[in-house]
Amino acid sequence: MSIRLQQATPGDIPTIGALAHRIWWAHYPAVIGEVQVRYMLGLMYSHEALQEQMEKGHIFWLVMDGGDIIGYLALSNQGEGRFFLHKFYIDNEQRGRGIGRQVFQELLAHYEGLRALRLTVNRQNYKSINFYFRIGFTIECCVDIPIGEGYVMNDFQMLYVPRA
């Protein structure tokens, strides 16, 4: 297993979108229901939405295992060493192999000046919450984010601060 991160380009948008659909449909219906999965995929993973995120400065990374793309990340620089992790997804078939922890270490290696990393995660997404705890995140607060069509993301905002 040779895990590495490769910065994505606009040419990778179709690959990211296809992988997102596969991951989301395998994981999220049990958490938020099929109708909301369909809505959120359209909202956040259409070609146009991904392109707009890249144009806004979101940095996308492909998770590579040899020559295979097995996941993706996206984060944005909030200034002064603070970053927000918008996306951290590994293909469901690859889970349980310690890849998430390796990917996180690779990400930290790319951002040596990182002082704080925040993310949001659905409060019912127990597997992901527990993973984030294991790699050093703590819950900072609860956030409820309206996303349209009457849907609200009921999330924990989590914080990672590297040890000095």
pLDDT tens figures, 41-67:
999 999 999 999 999 999 999 999 999
pLDDT single digits (tens) 75-111: 999 999 999 999 999 998 888 888 999 999 999 999 9
- Supply the pLDDT for residue 70: 96
- Cβ burial of 19 (10 Å; 0-12, 13-18, 19+) is buried
Q: The domain 3-160 is classified under which CATH number: 3.40.630.30, 3.20.20.70, 3.40.50.10420, 1.25.40.340?
A: 3.40.630.30
pLDDT band at 1 (very low <50, low <70, confident <90, very high): low
